[in-house]
Each structure stands twice: as C-alpha cells, then as structure tokens.
Amino acid sequence: MTPDPAPPETATSTPTAPPSVPAPGRLRAVPGSRKLMFAVVAVALLFGAQWLETRFRLSAVQEELARRLAESDGQSKEARAIARQNQEALQALAAKVGALEAQLAESQGQQLALESMYQELSKGRDDRVIAEVEQAVSIAAQQLQLAGNVEAALIALTGADARLARAASPQFLGVRKLIARDIERLRALPTADVPGMAMKLESVIASVDSMPLAFEQRPMSNTVAARGADAAKKSAAPEPAWWQRFLADAWAEFRQMVRIERIDHADPGLLSPQQSFFLRENLKLRLVNARLALLARDAKSFRDDMRQAQAWLERYFDVRAKPVQGALEVVRTLGTTNVAIEPPTLNETLAALRNFRSVKK
C-alpha cells in the first residue's frame, strides 16, 4: 500500500492592503469634480430632453404620415372610382357618337338616294307619260283588231288623252291631236247592239228544249170542227131523236177514217227520241257558235250559223207553235243584221309615240 500523497503546498503570498476607499459619507471633495458632474448631468438632461423631443416629433410625424397615407389611399380609391366612371361614360359617349355617325351616314345615303330619285323623276317624267299613253293606245288597237270592241277602245283612248291633259306639256299637242282624231273616227262608226243580240240568242238557246217538233203536231180534224158546229146548232135547234144522234155519230166516225191535209213543205219524217235529242243539241251548238261569232265580229260565220239554225227550225220544228215562231223571228232578224265593222287602225298614233320616245332618248 502506498502512502497517501502529501497535500500540495499552497503558495503563500504576502497579503496586499486593499485600496483605500473613502467612506460614503466621507467623500472628499475633489477640486473641479462637482462642476464636471453638473456639466455631465446637464448634458445628459439636455440630450434626454432633445431625445424626448425628437421622439415626440418622430411620433407626430409618423401619425401625420399615417393620416396622410390614409387620406391619399382614400383619395386614390375615389380617383379610381371617378376614373372608372369617366371611362364608362366615355365608352357610352363613344357608342352614342358611333350610333350618331351611323345615323348620319344613313341619312346622307338616303338624301343622296332621294336626290337621285328626284333627278330621275324630273328627268323621266315625260318618258313615263309617253310610255303610259303608248300602252293605252296599244290596248285600244288590240281591242279593235282582235275583238272589234269599239267601246273598250274608246275608253282606252279617252284615258290616254286625259293622261296627256294632266301632264299639261305643250310638246304633247301633236299626239293629243292624233288621239282626238282616232276618238272621233271610232265614235262615227255604226255599232250594233252586241249585248242585246247576245241576250236574244241566249233566250232562243234556252227555249230549244221546249219547242215542239214538226212530226209531233196534231192538226185540227174535221170531226172536231164538225162537232163544234153541231154543238152550236144543237144549242139553237131542238134536241134530235136518238136515231138521228146515232147516225150523226156514225157519220163522224166514218169521216175520221180519211183525212185530207194541205202542207207547204215536205214531210219531215219521224225522228226517234235519240235523233230528237241530237237535233236539239246541234241547234243549240249552232246558236252558241253564232253568239261567239257575234262577239268576235265574224260576220260570215254569224250569217252561216243563223241561216243553218233558221233552216232547221223551219224543217224540223212546228212553225205553228208560238215558241217556234218567236225563235224564227229572232233568228231572221238577227241574221240580217250587219255585225261586221272595219275599225280604223291606230298605227299612225303608235308610230308618232314611238318617234317621240326615240327623240327624247
């Protein structure tokens, strides 16, 4: 076992005396230190006051800056709102200006169109009048040449003359003279009562089915005449005896067995019901054709149809019947009427109108 180590030797040093510190209550006054202390305190107070003042000023500046920032923020928001409103108003104004420009352009276009139309109207007024008059004269010429309708031609020419009169232009005087001459020539033409003649033919056509045929006639017998005479005598004379009446009746029956009759034309012969039907239909067709020829002023066809209808009436129908007599009277009268007219041509007037248009162009 080893022996315990010896404790280390402590370094011994001579103790030093602590510095002499004056007691608190016994500080010695060092010359000039009091003034220095007061100066330092004053400087510290001055710096503190200045620091406090700077602090207060900095706080006030911060508050003012925050206030002004808040005000500027509100003003910027308000300015943005006003700018947005102004932009919207500007867009609305731009749209209105665009619409007004479009309306202005449209009104200008309409004004130009109206001006051009007015120029065309003022320039082509005479051309339109001449075109209308030429069309009316052409219609009158067609009515005269195709249908022979003098009344329609007169109406067309009168309308053309009235149109020229409304124009009141002295350059139309020559054309008006030609139209007036054509009107006078048409009025001087002998005209037939075509509507009245057509109505008479229509009445004859309607009565064909009711007119009796010639072979259906029942002539008055001598027995009937004798009986009439005997009845007249019996009314005046006394009543005969029974045997006299018997002899008279026997004699009347015997005389009826033989009949002598006088006829002015050949026997028409018997017609079957089918032949009678076709006879009546053919007669009606003849009369219808005559009416069409009358309306067309075809004198030759009209006379031929009326002559054939008259021949059929006299040959196949009972001329002693009143309907047949009336139909024959109408057919004979109309058959002698002159329905053919030679209307004047309007070629000279049409040529004058065409020359006038060519000169205007």
Read off the pLDDT band of 76 (50, 70, 90). confident
Residues 209, 317, single domain; the answer is yes
Residues 197, 155, single domain; the answer is no
Q: Assess if residue 325 is contained within a domain.
A: yes
User: Which residues does 41 contact at the CB level (< 8 Å), separation at least 6?
Assistant: none
pLDDT digits (tens, 9 = 90+) for 244-274: 888 888 888 777 776 555 555 555 556 777 8
Q: Which amino acid is at 345?
A: T
Residues 355, 289, single domain; the answer is no
Residues 278, 163, single domain; the answer is no
Residues 205, 294, single domain; the answer is yes
The pTM of the full predicted model, rounded to 2 decimals, is 0.44
pLDDT value at 353 more than 80 = yes
Tell me how far apart the alpha carbons of residues 318 and 332 are, in angstroms, rounded to a whole number: 16
Q: Assess if residue 298 is contained within a domain.
A: yes
pLDDT value at 341 more than 80 = no
**pLDDT score recorded for residue 194:** 76
Range of the domain at 285: 192-217+270-340
pLDDT digits (tens, 9 = 90+) for 145-162: 776 778 888 899 999 899
Residues 204, 277, single domain; the answer is yes
Residue 213 pairs in a beta bridge with 317
pLDDT digits (tens, 9 = 90+) for 11-36: 334 444 444 444 444 444 455 678 88
pLDDT digits (tens, 9 = 90+) for 176-206: 899 999 999 888 877 667 778 888 889 999 9
From first CA to last CA, the distance across the chain in angstroms is 162
Among residues 181, 176, 149, 178, which one has the least CA distance to residue 163? 176
Q: Assess if residue 82 is contained within a domain.
A: no
Residues 318, 354, single domain; the answer is no
Any alpha helices (H) in the chain, and if so which ranges?
33-142, 150-167, 173-187, 194-206, 222-236, 242-256, 273-295, 299-316, 322-335, 347-360
Tell me how far apart the alpha carbons of residues 138 and 144 are, in angstroms, rounded to a whole number: 10
pLDDT value at 51 more than 90 = no
Q: Looking at beta carbons, which pairs linking 284-293 to residues 24 or more positions away fall under 8 Å? A: 284/205, 284/208, 286/312, 287/201, 287/204, 287/205, 287/208, 288/205, 290/201, 290/334, 291/198, 291/201, 291/202, 291/205, 293/339
Mapped onto helix, strand or coil, the DSSP state of residue 191 is coil
Residues 302, 280, single domain; the answer is yes
- Contact between 150 and 343 (Cβ < 8 Å): yes
For residue 185, the Cα-to-chain-centroid distance in whole angstroms is 40
Q: Assess if residue 84 is contained within a domain.
A: no
pLDDT value at 135 more than 50 = yes
Q: What mean pLDDT comes out for the span 96-123? A: 80
Residues 212, 332, single domain; the answer is yes
Residues 129, 184, single domain; the answer is yes
Mapped onto helix, strand or coil, the DSSP state of residue 153 is helix
Residues 186, 274, single domain; the answer is no
**Radius of gyration (C-alpha) of the chain in whole angstroms:** 70
Least confident of 84-93, 161-170, 255-264, 274-283: 255-264
Residues 177, 314, single domain; the answer is no
The count of domains in the chain is 2
Read off the pLDDT band of 234 (50, 70, 90). low
